[in-house]
Structure 1
């Protein structure tokens, strides 16, 4: 199953009696926008009981085109990593 923004907004709307669908959709969009801005800024995003999103710097490195075997240099880049909390890991593993 894939969980989409629409699914999140719908679940938030159903759990909250005072919130309209539009407000639930805006709340989900605001949370995701805030989360993206934190990561773009290079900071960590820690959600207690869920996990931690971190931005890591990758150095330039040598790579290879698998189709041609040609050697090439891969640019330095930033990647987002996720480490689940112990509670989440325990729940997933039963």
Structure 2
């Protein structure tokens, strides 16, 4: 399983930069995607996929401890749709 630091190391090795520069680049990409999603904008990265904020409808749920019915409010959640290129590469 790769984590963010593994990604930073691989980016640094690929582009021939320091880990610090690669970490700033990875953090910048993640930060900008997050900012766009907070504003309700869709982010499309060719060859990777589409990041978007969707509204999940409110619903009734149950408290697992007591079994009491509770209302789960509507909320915005991040969604990712993989591109065909990424899907084909993973096959």
TM-score normalised to structure 2 length: 0.86
Structure 1 residues 2-13: aligned runs within 5 Å? 3-13=2-12
Structure 1 residues 48-63: aligned runs within 5 Å? 48-63=46-61
1: distance between equivalents of 2:62 and 2:12? 48
- Structure 1 segments (4+ residues) deviating >4 Å: none
2: distance between equivalents of 1:90 and 1:24? 27
TM-score normalised to structure 1 length: 0.84
Give the equivalent residue in structure 2 for 1:14.
13
Give the equivalent residue in structure 1 for 2:33.
35
**5+ residue gaps in structure 1?**
none
Aligned residues: 91
2: distance between equivalents of 1:12 and 1:90? 22
Superposed CA RMSD in Å reads: 1.5
SS at match of 1:53: strand
- Please report how far the alpha carbon of residue 91 of structure 1 lies from its aligned counterpart in structure 2 after TM superposition: 2.1
1: distance between equivalents of 2:90 and 2:19? 30
SS at match of 2:66: coil
- Please report how far the alpha carbon of residue 10 of structure 1 lies from its aligned counterpart in structure 2 after TM superposition: 0.9
